[in-house]
Copies of this chain bind each other. A is one copy, B any other.
Amino acid sequence: MEDWSRGWAPPTYRVDEHGKVIGRRNDRVPHNWGRWGDLDEQGTTNFITADRLRAATRLVVTGEVVGCAIPIGEEMPVHPSRPSVVHTHWLTGADLVAGLVPDRAAGGFYGADDHLAMPLQSATHWDGLSHAFHQDTMYNGFWIGTVGAAGGARRCSTHLLADRLVGRGVLLDLPRDQGVDRLSPGHAITTDQLDSCAARQGVEVRTGDILLVRTGELPWFYSLEDKTPYWTGNHAGLSVTTVDWIYTHEVAAVALDNRTFEVTPFEKPYDVTYPLHSRLIRDLGLTIGELWWLEDLAATCARLDRWEFLLTAPPLPVTGASGAPTTPLAFF
């Protein structure tokens, strides 16, 4: 248990009735605070418009569907700071075979019922705009104190994006572009690599896209008999130098197939841990995806030589949430 031993002095700021720290400006550039209004809680998903979405549906040619979610069960690459995923059946067929009497508990129902407990930042998920803070604020200057234990995130809850994260998806398959199975641990993906990969794939990243970047990490996790190298090793991810590129390209969201989106160890020097979370989520208002399963998608894209598709990836609409699992689907 953590102790409490530092003393406390009240901060000097005040917070307005909208939950914003009064007078607070964002002095990190680029940022998107105020871009969609002072009270916006949806960030770069605002780039997704009805027109762009309609156009994305026209990318569907064959009606083929590809799922991008990992199965939710026991053997999962959940970050070790988080608790286990616990899936239990409390009414089973095996019980009925054994003649057990669930009638009263089940209200006479003859079947099976189950229960799930999971961290919202496990499984294939979105990190929402109330997930990452810097100093006293989250995205758009909302006060971090609006996220509490009772009721969760009163501002920037992920459920506000439940009908937003759909549109044109683009996959950049870095390992394929570099001729490897997976990027080497600790590899920091640069903007040059993103650009050249897009060029070689013949695809353009546009405003409002949901950008998927493959590193090849997840299949390696599943292939390991002993997962220790995964838990203790380094990870490839986007370089912190891609922030401007992401800002300039006006993408609506970015998702990777690794555990924390970030390169680990973090690129030096860094002033805060998880520097991309801090810059992308808090400053740009960008929703980021982690633990996406991009293997089937990459194979389909390569087979069809098409790297754009209709993508639907609404988060589970948990109110007051700082993240949520999603079951992304790509349509070709």
Interface residues of A (CB under 8 A from B): 1-19, 49-55, 57-58, 60-67, 69-74, 79, 81-102, 104-121, 130-134, 136, 138, 143-155, 157, 159, 162-164, 166, 228, 272-274, 277-278, 281, 310, 312, 314-323, 325-327, 329, 331
Judge whether B102 and A273 touch: CB under 8 Å: no
Instruction: Name 8 interchain pairs, CB-CB below 8 A, sorted by A.
Output: A51-B63, A53-B60, A53-B331, A89-B148, A92-B150, A96-B144, A114-B318, A166-B331
Judge whether A100 and B15 touch: CB under 8 Å: no
A128 to B31, CA, bound (A): 44
Judge whether A54 and B50 touch: CB under 8 Å: no
A152 CB contacts on chain B under 8 angstroms = 1, 87, 89, 114
Judge whether A151 and B102 touch: CB under 8 Å: yes
Q: How many Å from the CB of A5 to the closest CB on chain B? A: 6
A62 CB contacts on chain B under 8 angstroms = 50, 54
Judge whether B146 and A93 touch: CB under 8 Å: yes
Across the A-B interface, the 8 shortest Cβ-Cβ residue pairs: A93-B144, A50-B63, A54-B63, A4-B154, A10-B10, A98-B145, A102-B150, A83-B84
Judge whether B132 and A111 touch: CB under 8 Å: yes
Judge whether B50 and A154 touch: CB under 8 Å: no
Judge whether B116 and A120 touch: CB under 8 Å: yes
Judge whether A317 and B67 touch: CB under 8 Å: yes
- In the complex, which residue of chain B has the Cβ closest to the Cβ of A327? B314
Q: How many Å from the CB of A260 to the closest CB on chain B? A: 9
A66 CB contacts on chain B under 8 angstroms = 163
> A315 contacts which of B11, B109, B327 (Cβ < 8 Å)?
B327
Judge whether A99 and B321 touch: CB under 8 Å: no
Q: How many Å from the CB of A4 to the closest CB on chain B? A: 3
